[in-house]
Amino acid sequence: MSAPPEKIPQPTIERLSAYLQCVRLMRAQESATASSSEIARRTGINAAQLRKDLSYFGEFGTPGLGYDLRALEAHLSRIMGLDVERDVLLVGAGNLGRALSSYTGFGRRGFRIVAAFDVDEAKVGTAMGPVRVHHLRELAAVNAELGAEVGVVAVPASAAQVAVDALTAVGVRAILNFAPVTLAARPEITVRNVDLTSQMEILSYYLRST
Amino acid sequence: MSAPPEKIPQPTIERLSAYLQCVRLMRAQESATASSSEIARRTGINAAQLRKDLSYFGEFGTPGLGYDLRALEAHLSRIMGLDVERDVLLVGAGNLGRALSSYTGFGRRGFRIVAAFDVDEAKVGTAMGPVRVHHLRELAAVNAELGAEVGVVAVPASAAQVAVDALTAVGVRAILNFAPVTLAARPEITVRNVDLTSQMEILSYYLRST
DNA sequence: GTGTATTTGTGAAAAATTTCTCTATCTCGC
DNA sequence: GCGAGATAGAGAAATTTTTCACAAATACAC
């Protein structure tokens, strides 16, 4: 019943988040149920795809009616592991780190930035959003108490691998990397890259044939 | 010769940017040539994949030797349309918008933020990074002169569709969207979503079975 | 020059993912 | 309750993407 996930396609996981976002929005707009085709229309994802994606985890819909949005949100949240709060360590107190530490979107979804780190002594001790900046060398000591398992890397490319190594050494298992480099990490560590320059370059490709 | 691209797989385009990043790095490290397997090792992408990806656009390697990194960088840059400077319009002067306007990574790759916009009168007229913040209603007037074709949306979800509509109305053809919503746009407009919360949720999925 | 070791480019095979299609199921109005 | 209409779930087909494997081409040592 609680869907023991076998082998779930990677693209499916990435879409689940989009479904969840859509479901939250529709709920906020006072809808109680929605059909797969309605969610498909709103997310731009094929309806059969949505049904197949969900079917990996169980049966959540009702023929003739569609999906109960409240229940679907709960299911998706549980599937994604969003039913627990996650503490997050932020490495990098530059412009991007500052923006991320003030970003309320994370907190609203159960991700709480609990500490920030940098190697720049001038930044150590300053406040950044709701947290104080520690020196990176204090990472182990700080996380010994916190036990956070999620890290965000918002440092220059040249410092990113050091940051990743430091995070993984203190027990972090999942990392969101904003540095424009391919990082090395043990296979059991999940790293997701959010490379803004790369995204721009991809956009550029679609503009090229001007 | 200049590789008339037929039908290029979407995943290929996204990898090209990774190859380019790797090539730039190796060049900075004084390498002159590299084999597909060396680039593969560094990017974590399969060597056959790399060769196949490149083969869509031409023949850039030398059997027995590998790829000349200088030439490959030039080819990849041209393929991605990075051989021209692009002006970028930024909508949203909040924390994220501020961080993006100060981000030097874009400029280094030929993306120049030329104007910023917001609907908050308190922000209009202030400086943000190298540009001044205009009211969103001035978008048409400002871009009539600039003619920018790339937009960045860094506004709350509730304002994102308005921002996109405004941008597309003034001729923008490619948009980098940071708002956590699925946006509607004509099919000839390229929209790439960089949804930080979604990325966190995907990370969360891989942490769930704790 | 010649021979051996590399490495590319690519057709074919394999794997993964998406889409189609249809059946069983459920809703809802009457 | 009954029947018409709607929709989920899922096997099968289609499509897309990745990987394999090898011939052809080149480099480089001697």
CATH of the domain at B179: 3.40.50.720
Assigned domain for A204 exists: no
Range of the domain at A163: 86-199
Which three-class secondary structure state does DSSP give residue A113?
A: strand
Place B7 in a pLDDT band, splitting at 50, 70 and 90: confident
Structure-block tokens of residue A61: 């819909």
As ranges, strand C nucleotides with an atom below 7 A of a protein CB are 5-11, 16-21, 24-28
Average pLDDT over residues B50-61: 97
Q: Is B210 exposed, middle or buried (0-12, 13-18, 19+ CB in 10 A)?
A: exposed
In which band, very low, low, confident or very high, does the pLDDT at A60 lie, cut at 50, 70 and 90?
Answer: very high
Mean pLDDT rounded to a whole number for chain B: 95
Any domain includes A206? no
State both tokens at B119: 């609907």
Residue B71 Cα distances to A182, B32, B54, B75, B159, angstroms? 22, 10, 13, 6, 43
* B100 domain-assigned: yes
Q: How much is the pLDDT for B70?
A: 98
pLDDT (tens digit, 9 = 90+) per residue, A65-120? Answer: 999 999 999 999 999 999 999 999 999 999 999 999 999 999 999 999 999 999 99
Domain count, chain A: 2
Chain A residue closest in CA terms to B3? A209
The pLDDT, as a whole number, for residue B125 is 96
Confidence band of B210 (pLDDT split at 50, 70, 90): low
Considering CB atoms only, which of A80, A108, A210 is closest to B204?
A: A80
Whether B44 is covered by a domain: the verdict is yes
Based on the fold, state whether residues A68 and A143 are members of the same structural domain: no
Find the CATH number of the domain harbouring A24. Answer: 1.10.10.10
**pLDDT at residue number B146:** 96
* B187 and B91 housed in the same domain: yes
A32 touches strand C (CB under 7 A): no
pLDDT digits (tens, 9 = 90+) for A131-181: 999 999 999 999 999 999 999 999 999 999 999 999 999 999 999 999 999
Nucleotide nearest to A67 (CA to C1'): D8
Task: Evaluate if the CB of B72 falls below 7 Å from strand C.
Answer: no
Q: Are residues B60 and B111 in the same domain?
A: no
Mutate to test the interface with B, among A95, A98, A155, A158 (most CBs of B within 10 A): A95
Contacts for B55 with CB less than 8 Å, ≥ 6 apart: none
Query: What pLDDT band is residue B2 in, cutting at 50, 70 and 90?
Result: very low
Tell me: do A118 and A165 sit in the same domain: yes
Contact residues, chain A, for B99 at CB < 8 Å = 95-96, 98-99
Q: Do A190 and B206 touch (CB under 8 A)?
A: yes
Residues B31 and B110 grouped into a single domain:
no
CB pairs under 8 A between A and B: 173
The reported pTM is 0.94
Give the CA-to-C1' distance from A64 to C28 in angstroms: 10
- Residue A3's pLDDT is 42
